[in-house]
Amino acid sequence: MTDKNQDIDMGLGLLDQDLDSIEDLPGFEVPPTGEYLLKMTTAIKKINDKIFVETSYEVLECVKQDKEEDIPAKLGNKFSSLFTIKGDGKDAEKDAEMVRLGKGKLKELLVDIAEATGQGNLLVLVRDIVADCTVNATVKRRQDKEDKEKFYGNVKNLRLA
């Protein structure tokens, strides 16, 4: 038997187990509405010539789920939000409105942390304070109006843990 065939046989042997014995991995989905302990990170992203602040979250603990009948979030599940900070330059009026809304929503998200830390500069908040931290927050799960299988996470009441 050649070395290649031995490697294939060994590899196939490593797969010899029942699917139920393999741990489910966390997914990328918004948890049910409730209070959570989250790992939060921020990044600047360029998508389709627009620039965004992306806030990403990982569920560390469910403190309180609003509806007991909802399927609980798996620890480790991730979700994120995008906030427009620069348009694509194709329509100045549309760009200005997207940026106004993006920065306004980012302000709403970070206002409690700004007050708690005494830091009011958006750059410093995004780059230094919430770039990689643990937070307590309220997460509201909102269903897409057109695609009922798609959900968005609205994070509020952000507090450094």
How many C-beta atoms lie closer than 10 Å to residue 112's C-beta?
16
| DSSP for residue 22 | S
* The pLDDT value given to residue 99: 97
* The pLDDT value given to residue 2: 63
Which pair of structure tokens corresponds to residue 125?
Answer: 């908040």
**pTM of the model as a whole:** 0.85
> Where would I find the H helices in 15-158?
92-117, 122-124
Per-residue pLDDT tens listing for the chain (161 residues): 567 777 777 778 788 889 998 888 888 899 999 999 999 999 999 999 999 999 999 999 999 999 999 989 899 999 999 999 999 999 999 999 999 999 999 999 999 999 999 999 999 999 999 999 999 999 999 989 999 889 999 999 999 99
Instruction: Report the C-alpha gap between 120 and 135 in whole angstroms.
Output: 18
Per-residue pLDDT of 134-156, as tens digits, reads 999 999 999 899 998 899 999 99
- Residues 99, 91 contacting (CB under 8 angstroms): no
Per-residue pLDDT of 46-58, as tens digits, reads 999 999 999 999 9
Strand arrangement, sheet containing 132-143 = 78-86, 50-65, 34-47, 132-143, 151-160
Task: Supply the mean pLDDT for the chain.
Answer: 93
